[in-house]
Amino acid sequence: MTITAPSAATARPGAGMKVALFATCANDVMFPQTPIATVKLLERLGCRVEFPMEQTCCGQIFANTGYFDEAVGSVKTFLRAFERYEYIVGPSGSCVGAVRHQHEMLARRAAGDRVGDRVAAVASRTYDVSEFLVDVLGVTDVGAYFPHRVTYHPSCHSVRIAKVGDKPYQLLKAVRGLDLIELPNAEQCCGMGGTFSLKNPDVSTAMAGDKARNVASTGAEYLCAGDNLCLLNISGVLNRTKAGVKPIHLVEILAHSEGDN
């Protein structure tokens, strides 16, 4: 089968655009394949990607656990690393959501309105990859090829905090060869919830177990999401049940093109 070079990729909708990659701390250390895929995808679409080395973490692990003072360092670091950019893009609905939803409150509490305004402005320029592609670059067909059965878990923070809506679905539907299978009870939480999984391990496991069962029931080869920590949680349980469903980040599918194996 010959597949012609997809128009979206040849059109290079990101040509001349400078984008700062917000890798997120967990991806940096635990899932480097995801930010690597983000770089390759954005470059394929014509963007010039920069990675500001000063960046660390969005700070939500602190803020969500109630440690507001401890979160402030992360907010300041984020400001230092990204203030000079017009577009900041991260492969995590959860971390992007935290930047947009919490940074301003934390900055105003700790450093007053002047810093709060600056932080809010940077946050408003921070996008989840799926939003950046669809809303800013205006593409849904990113020229990806992934001939597999895939089911998608819309992570809570992607849907309800970052509010990415159906953009991930739009992008997945445009992937050549991909068979998208609906996940039963898709919008229910997988039970990860950051420190929730440690503070309430039994409830968290019960939720992850139900999610894993729903995933297994689809018969998909891959479980896809826009947040690696949800994938880690669900696939951690799936592995135990030997369901054989592989976790994959949305961006890794989108970055996959015909020549890749």
Partner 1 sequence: MGTELERLTPAPPEGDLLDSPRFPQAAKTELANHQQRTNLRHATTTIRNKRARVVGELSNWQDLRDAGEAIKTRVGRHLDEYLLQFEENFTKAGGHVHWARDAEEANRIVVALVKDTGQEEIVKVKSMVTQEIDMNEALEAEGIAAWETDLAELIVQLGHDRPSHIVVPALHRNRSEVREIFLKEMGRYGTPPPDDLDDQPKNLAGAARVHLREKFMRAKTSTSGANFAIAETGSLVVVESEGNGRMCLTLPDTLISVVGIEKILPTFDDLEVFLQLLPRSSTGERMNPYTSVWTGTTDGDGPKNVHVVLVDNGRTNVLADPEGRAALRCIRCSACLNICPVYERVGGHAYGSVYPGPIGAILNPQLRGTDSEIDRSLPFASSLCGACNEVCPVKIPISDLLVHERHKVVEAKKKDPPHIPHTAEPQIMAAAAWVMDDHRHLELAGKGSELGSRVLGGLLGWKKIGPLPPPLSRWTDARDVPMLPEQTFRDWWKQNRETKK
- By CB under 8 A, tell whether 31 contacts partner 1: yes
Out of 237, 243, 245, 250, the residue judged to bind partner 1 by CB under 8 A: 237
Contacts of residue 22, defined as CB under 8 A and 6 or more positions apart, other chains included, come to: 55, 58, 78, 82, 88, 89, 90, 95, 96, 99, 126
Out of 3, 15, 121, 198, the residue judged to bind partner 1 by CB under 8 A: 198
Q: Can you read off the two tokens belonging to residue 206?
A: 């019960």
Contact code string over 58-77 relative to partner 1, x by CB under 8 A:
-x-xxxxxxxx-xx-xx-xx
Out of 197, 220, 223, 255, the residue judged to bind partner 1 by CB under 8 A: 197
Contact code string over 118-147 relative to partner 1, x by CB under 8 A:
------------------------------
Rounded CA gap, 139 and 134, in Å? 5
Out of 123, 208, 220, 225, the residue judged to bind partner 1 by CB under 8 A: 208
For residues 160 and 176, which CB has a smaller minimum distance to partner 1 in the complex?
Answer: 160
State in angstroms the smallest separation of the CB of 138 from partner 1: 26
Rounded CA gap, 35 and 15, in Å? 20
- 82-113 burial, b if ≥16 CB within 10 A, otherwise e? beebebbbbbbbbbbbbbbbbbbbbbbebbee
Q: Which helix (H) or strand (E) holds 150?
A: strand 149-152
- By CB under 8 A, tell whether 36 contacts partner 1: yes
Q: Tell me how far the alpha carbon of residue 247 is from its chain's centroid.
A: 13
- By CB under 8 A, tell whether 35 contacts partner 1: yes
Out of 123, 191, 226, 256, the residue judged to bind partner 1 by CB under 8 A: 191
- Number of Cβ within 10 Å of residue 37's Cβ equals 22
Amino acid at 200: N
- By CB under 8 A, tell whether 90 contacts partner 1: no
Q: Can you read off the two tokens belonging to residue 131?
A: 């939003």
Residues that bind partner 1 (CB under 8 A): 23, 25, 27-33, 35-36, 39, 49, 51, 53-57, 59, 61-68, 70-71, 73-74, 76-77, 81, 102, 156-157, 160-161, 187-189, 191-209, 232-233, 235-237, 239-240
